[in-house]
Amino acid sequence: MQHRIIVLGAGYTGAIAAGRLAKRLHREDVAITLVNAEPDFVERVRMHQLAVGQDLRLRPFSEMFAGTGVELKLAKVTAVDVDRKTVEVEEAGEAGAAGAAGAGGAAGAAGKTEVLEYDTLVYALGSGWNTQGVPGTAEFADQIASRPGALRLRERLARLGAGQPVVVVGGGLTGLEAATEIAEARPDLDVALAARGELGDWLSPKGRGHLRRVFDKLGITAYEHAAVTAVEADRVTTADGTHLPAAVTVWTTGFAVHPIARATTLEITETGQIAVDRTMRSLSHPDVYAVGDAAMALGPADKPLRMSCATGTPMAWQAADAIAARLTGGKIPKAPLRYFNQCVSLGRKEGLIQYVTADDRAVNAALTGRLAAIYKELVCKGAAWGVANPTLGIPTRRRHIARQQNRTAAKAVKTPA
Ligand SMILES: Cc1cc2nc3c(=O)[nH]c(=O)nc-3n(C[C@H](O)[C@H](O)[C@H](O)COP(=O)(O)OP(=O)(O)OC[C@H]3O[C@@H](n4cnc5c(N)ncnc54)[C@H](O)[C@@H]3O)c2cc1C
C-alpha cells in the first residue's frame, strides 16, 4: 500500500513541499498528489509588475513536475475534513485549464466534484487580499495579491488618461512596490500612497532616506498618518475626514487566508491560519502539516513569522523533511526559519535591501540603488528557481545520506489505519 500524501496549493510553498517530498521518498512507497486551481505557477511576488503591463514567464506545472512522480490535479479545493482525512475538490473548468482563471479558487466553470483521501496532508493554500472590512474596499478597490486581481488592475490602469489620480493604500512592502512600479511605468499618472504611520518607519535611517528620495524622484505623494476608512468609486477617505481623489485605488494592507481551514476542526489562530509546531505539523491533527501564508509558525524570539516567501520557503523544506523523516524513521533536519533581509523593488531601476535581525528588525545597514534592484531581481528569479529545484538547502552529502535512509527505511512506511 502506498502512503497517500496530498499537497493543497502549488504556490511557492506547496510546490516546493511536493517536489521535495518526491525527492525524499521512493515512488513505490508514496503517492504524492498536488492540487492546484491553476495549471501554471504564479510568481506572486511579481504581481505589481504584471499590473503595470509587464509579461511574466509562463511556468506550466506539467513541465515543472515532469518525471518527478508528483501527480498534478487541476482542481479547486472546496472543503477539507481532517477527521475523515478527506479533501473535496471541484475539477477546474475551461478557464482554469487555460490558465486565465484566478488563484484562490476561481478555476473557471465549475466541474465535477470529487473526494480525495489522504494519509498525510500538506495545506498550502496561501492567502488573498485583506480588505480589513473597510467600507467600499471590496466593491471599488483593486488588489495585487492574486493574478486575477493584478490583471484587472492592469486593464484599469491602461484605461486611465494622463494626470488621473491613483492611490495605493498601505505603506508596507507590497504598497511600496506597487506605488513605485506604477509611478515608474506611468509617469503621466498622479500616484499617491496612503500609509497608516510614517513612510518606511520600520526601516533603518539609510533605508528610509533612500525611500523618500525615490518617492520624490518618481513624483509619488506620500500621505502619512493617513489610515483609510472608506473607499468610493473616485476617492478614498482618511480617518481625519480628508478625501483623496482616486480614479483607481490599489489596496495593499496585508493578506488574509482563505476560509477553508476555519471551516475544519483544525486548531487555527484568530487570523484563520493553521497553528503548527516547529516542524510545521498541526498542533491539533498530527497527520496535517501547514506551510506558507496559511500557517502560523513561530520564528526567532517566538515571534509569528510574517507571510512571505522568505520564510515560506524554509517552512516548506521543514514540512517535507519532517514528513519524510517521520515516515522513514530518520532524524528531522532543522530549516533556517529566520530573516536575513527585506528585499524591496522600487520600480525596475531602483531597489532597497534592508538588512534585518533574525527576528526581522532593521539594522543600520542597507543596500540601495541599481545594485539593490539587481539583487531583488535575482531574489525573485531564485525563488522561482527554488520551486523547480526543491532540494536546495540540503548539503549534497546529507541529501545522499537521506536518500539512502529512505531507500532502506521507506519499506517500513505503512498507511495508518
Ligand atoms: C505583489 C506581492 C509582492 C510580494 N513580494 C514579496 C517579496 O518580495 N518577498 C517575500 O518574501 N514575499 C513577498 N510576497 C508574499 C509572497 O508572495 C507570499 O507570502 C507567498 O506567495 C506565499 O506562498 P504560499 O505558497 O503560502 O501561497 P501562494 O503563493 O499564494 O500559493 C497558494 C496556491 O494555492 C492555490 N489555491 C488557493 N486556493 C485554492 C483552492 N481553493 N483550490 C486550489 N488551489 C488553491 C493558488 O492558486 C496558489 O497556487 C509578495 C506578495 C505579493 C502579492
User: To test the ligand 1 pocket, which listed residue (33, 36, 42, 44) has its Cβ within 8 A of the most ligand atoms?
Assistant: 44
pLDDT digits (tens, 9 = 90+) for 357-370: 999 999 999 999 99
Q: Which three cell numbers stand for residue 28?
A: 513505490
Residue 176: phi and psi, rounded to 5, are -60, -45
Q: Which three cell numbers stand for residue 382?
A: 531564485
- Tell me how far the alpha carbon of residue 312 lies from the centroid of ligand 1, in angstroms: 9
Atom of ligand 1 nearest to the CA of 16: 25
Atom of ligand 1 nearest to the CA of 12: 25
Answer whether residue 107 shows pLDDT above 80.
no
Percent of the chain with pLDDT over 70: 89
Atom of ligand 1 nearest to the CA of 10: 49
Closest among 42, 185, 197, 216 to 127, alpha carbons compared: 42
Q: What is the pLDDT of residue 111?
A: 81
Cβ contact 328:409 at 8 Å: yes
Q: How sure is the predictor about 310, in pLDDT bands with cuts at 50, 70 and 90?
A: very high
Residues in the chain: 417
pLDDT digits (tens, 9 = 90+) for 4-26: 999 999 999 999 999 999 999 99
Q: Which three cell numbers stand for residue 184?
A: 515608474
- Tell me how far the alpha carbon of residue 127 lies from the centroid of ligand 1, in angstroms: 6
Q: What is the pLDDT of residue 335?
A: 87
Alpha carbons 281 and 411: distance in angstroms, whole number: 23
Q: What is the pLDDT of residue 94?
A: 52
Q: Looking at the DSSP assignment, which residues form a beta bridge with residue 169?
A: 194, 251
- Tell me how far the alpha carbon of residue 380 lies from the centroid of ligand 1, in angstroms: 13
- Tell me how far the alpha carbon of residue 196 lies from the centroid of ligand 1, in angstroms: 24
Q: How sure is the predictor about 233, in pLDDT bands with cuts at 50, 70 and 90?
A: very high
Average pLDDT over residues 345-364: 97
Query: How deeply is 346 buried, as exposed, middle or buried, from its count of CB atoms within 10 A (0-12, 13-18, 19+)?
Result: buried
C-alpha count within 13 angstroms, C-beta hemisphere, residue 51 = 34
Q: What is the pLDDT of residue 101?
A: 34
Closest among 245, 238, 287 to 266, alpha carbons compared: 287
Atom of ligand 1 nearest to the CA of 11: 31
Cβ contact 29:120 at 8 Å: no
> Which residues surround ligand 1 with Cβ inside 6 Å?
9-14, 35-38, 42, 44-45, 47-48, 76-77, 103-105, 124-127, 144-145, 174, 177, 258, 292-294, 307-310, 312, 343
Domain extents for the chain? Answer: 3-126+258-328, 130-251, 341-414
DSSP 352-414: EEEEE-TTS-EEEEEEEHHHHHHHHHHHHHHHHHHHHSTTTTS-HHHHHHHHHHHHHHGGG--
Q: Whose grid coordinates read 505603506?
A: 171
Atom of ligand 1 nearest to the CA of 308: 19
**254 Cβ neighbours under 8 A, 6+ residues apart:** 130, 132, 170, 172, 307
> By three-state DSSP, how is residue 215 classified?
helix
Amino acid symbol at 41: F
Closest residue by Cα to atom 35, ligand 1, is: 9
Cβ contact 283:275 at 8 Å: yes
Alpha carbons 231 and 32: distance in angstroms, whole number: 44
Parallel, antiparallel, or unpaired: how do β-strands 127-129 and 255-257 relate?
A: antiparallel
Query: How deeply is 227 buried, as exposed, middle or buried, from its count of CB atoms within 10 A (0-12, 13-18, 19+)?
Result: middle
- Tell me how far the alpha carbon of residue 184 lies from the centroid of ligand 1, in angstroms: 24
Q: What is the pLDDT of residue 336?
A: 86
- Tell me how far the alpha carbon of residue 125 lies from the centroid of ligand 1, in angstroms: 8
- Tell me how far the alpha carbon of residue 239 lies from the centroid of ligand 1, in angstroms: 30
Atom of ligand 1 nearest to the CA of 75: 43
Answer whether residue 319 shows pLDDT above 80.
yes
Closest residue by Cα to atom 47, ligand 1, is: 103
> Is this model's pTM higher than 0.95 or not?
no
pLDDT digits (tens, 9 = 90+) for 71-95: 999 999 999 999 999 999 999 765 4
Alpha carbons 239 and 225: distance in angstroms, whole number: 9
| Sheet of strand 165-169: strand arrangement | 221-223, 190-194, 165-169, 248-251
The answer to whether the 3-126+258-328 and 130-251 domains have the same CATH topology is yes
Cβ contact 344:362 at 8 Å: no
User: To test the ligand 1 pocket, which listed residue (43, 121, 309) has its Cβ within 8 A of the most ligand atoms?
Assistant: 309
DSSP H or E segment with residue 138: helix 137-140
Closest residue by Cα to atom 4, ligand 1, is: 45
Among the four given CATH numbers 3.30.930.10, 3.50.50.60, 3.30.2350.10, 1.25.40.10, the one describing domain 3-126+258-328? 3.50.50.60
What is the second-level CATH architecture of the domain 130-251? 3-Layer(bba) Sandwich (3.50)
